[in-house]
């Protein structure tokens, strides 16, 4: 890799007379972790030390915390990133994440970094092909609550697949607990969905949730393969982004849904982390908390996540945006208006709240999406 640079943009909250020093401190912290005077090697000074590219007043600050804010652009050496996803995050925000006055709001990545990352293995088109829906938006729901035994989750999955929901995922809290071990749950749920598919002629898929360290993950992947599973749910920030990327590289035949658990609020801009970086690390679809639900992301933030997931990014496939988090069936048309047809709508709790009418509500969800067609 040559002397290519990443451009990282930080939002810094400080007074005007200190921002130059603060910017310089960030540029050093995220590169050599030394005062410039202590960097004597000419090559390191020239190629490795972070450089301030720009300092601009920040006008987009809508978090209501007050105080002056600045957008500080820093050029970081691409060669410091490994190139590897964990080290990329480390170089973008590792030590600076420990400083409360700084957020990472954007990052422009050069070709060498883009090319070193896997990107989505199947992407939007692959997901569409998997479930056999080529133009309309996709539908997704979650098996919950955790604590139910495998058989109960399998029955629920059967109900959702009969209703025609495309992707039926484990709730992200469902892991490998004693009350529902992965190796027991996954074949039962998968078979239940396959039985429903035989009746409906559809191709609903199951996305079980991965958890644990490399050895446990390897066991889960073997069990998923054995059971005929074709889609997986993973939380990159819990699992470790390098583990996530290795998973994508080694198991590119699975479609992989990324969940935002532990992604924090606002320290790394959601569009950058969930939309661009998770996609770059290999997510085929990225779940995020949609506006107007249980979470507080703004409409602007949500549309920015979707834009990052689908925009041009080197040679990488687009990833499917998955707005979620307290969504309701009566919002289907509004969400399709916002996101267009290249979206997967995830509605979980609202289907279960219907109690005995859950099958009907699930069916309504599917029908409203199909009726909308390709908006």
- Name the residue nearer to its own copies (CB basis): 127 or 362: 362
Taking alpha carbons only, the member of 298, 290, 287, 297 closest to residue 260 is 287
Q: Please count the residues of the chain.
A: 375
- Name the residue nearer to its own copies (CB basis): 78 or 313: 78
How many CB atoms within 10 Å of residue 132? 11
CA contacts within 13 A on the Cβ side of 218: 2
Check: CB of residue 140 under 8 Å from CB of residue 48: no
Give 195: exposed, middle or buried? Use CB within 10 Å, 0-12, 13-18, 19+: middle
Q: Tell the smallest beta-carbon distance from residue 176 to its own copies (Å).
A: 6
Distance CA 87, CA 94 (A): 9
- Name the residue nearer to its own copies (CB basis): 349 or 375: 349
Sign of the dihedral defined by the CA atoms of residues 30, 31, 32, 36, in that order = negative
Measure Cα distances from 366 to 132, 248, 285 in Å.
14, 29, 19
- Name the residue nearer to its own copies (CB basis): 312 or 356: 356
- Name the residue nearer to its own copies (CB basis): 287 or 335: 287
For the CA atoms of 31, 103, 310, 295, what is the dihedral angle to 10 degrees? 150
**How is residue 72 written in tokens?**
């500080």
**How is residue 183 written in tokens?**
């190796």
Q: Tell the smallest beta-carbon distance from residue 197 to its own copies (Å).
A: 26
CA angle 220, 221, 222 (to 5 degrees): 90
Q: Tell the smallest beta-carbon distance from residue 132 to its own copies (Å).
A: 29
- Name the residue nearer to its own copies (CB basis): 17 or 43: 43
Sign of the dihedral defined by the CA atoms of residues 324, 88, 7, 281, in that order = negative
Q: Tell the smallest beta-carbon distance from residue 198 to its own copies (Å).
A: 28
Q: Tell the smallest beta-carbon distance from residue 103 to its own copies (Å).
A: 10
Q: Tell the smallest beta-carbon distance from residue 76 to its own copies (Å).
A: 10
Q: Tell the smallest beta-carbon distance from residue 181 to its own copies (Å).
A: 10
Q: Tell the smallest beta-carbon distance from residue 286 to its own copies (Å).
A: 13
- Name the residue nearer to its own copies (CB basis): 132 or 264: 264
- Name the residue nearer to its own copies (CB basis): 145 or 252: 145
**How is residue 116 written in tokens?**
């070193």
Rounded to a whole number of angstroms, the distance between the first and last alpha carbons of the chain is 43
């Amino acid at each position: 890799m040559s002397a290519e640079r990443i451009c990282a943009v930080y939002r810094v909250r400080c007074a005007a007379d200190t921002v130059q020093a603060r910017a310089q401190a960030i540029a050093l912290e995220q590169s050599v972790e030394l005062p410039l005077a202590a960097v004597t090697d000419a090559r390191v000074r020239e190629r490795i030390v972070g450089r301030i590219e720009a300092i601009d007043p920040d006008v987009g600050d809508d978090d209501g915390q007050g105080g002056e804010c600045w957008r500080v652009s820093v050029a970081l050496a691409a060669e410091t990133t490994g190139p590897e996803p964990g080290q990329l995050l480390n170089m973008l925000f590792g030590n600076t994440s420990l400083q409360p006055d700084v957020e990472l709001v954007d990052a422009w990545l050069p070709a060498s970094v883009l090319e070193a990352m896997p990107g989505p293995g199947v992407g939007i088109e692959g997901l569409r092909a998997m479930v056999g829906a080529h133009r309309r938006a996709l539908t997704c729901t979650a098996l919950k609550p955790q604590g139910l035994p495998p058989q109960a989750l399998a029955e629920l999955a059967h109900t959702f697949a009969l209703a025609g929901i495309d992707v039926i995922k484990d709730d992200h809290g469902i892991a490998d607990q004693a009350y529902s071990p992965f190796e027991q749950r996954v074949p039962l749920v998968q078979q239940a969905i396959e039985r429903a598919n035989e009746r409906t002629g559809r191709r609903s898929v199951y996305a079980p949730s991965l958890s644990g360290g490399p050895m446990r993950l390897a066991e889960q992947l073997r069990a998923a393969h054995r059971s005929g599973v074709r889609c997986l749910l993973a939380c990159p920030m819990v699992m470790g982004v390098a583990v996530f990327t290795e998973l994508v590289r080694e198991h590119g035949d699975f479609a992989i849904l990324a969940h935002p658990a532990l992604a924090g609020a606002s320290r790394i801009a959601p569009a950058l982390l969930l939309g661009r970086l998770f996609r770059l690390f290999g997510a085929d679809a990225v779940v995020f908390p949609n506006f107007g639900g249980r979470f507080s992301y703004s409409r602007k933030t949500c549309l920015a996540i979707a834009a990052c997931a689908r925009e041009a990014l080197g040679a990488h496939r687009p990833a499917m945006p998955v707005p979620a988090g307290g969504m309701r069936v009566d919002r289907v048309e509004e969400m399709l208006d916002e996101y267009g047809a290249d979206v997967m709508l995830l509605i979980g709790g609202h289907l279960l709240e219907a109690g005995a009418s859950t099958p009907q509500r699930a069916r309504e969800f599917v029908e409203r999406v199909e009726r909308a067609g390709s908006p």
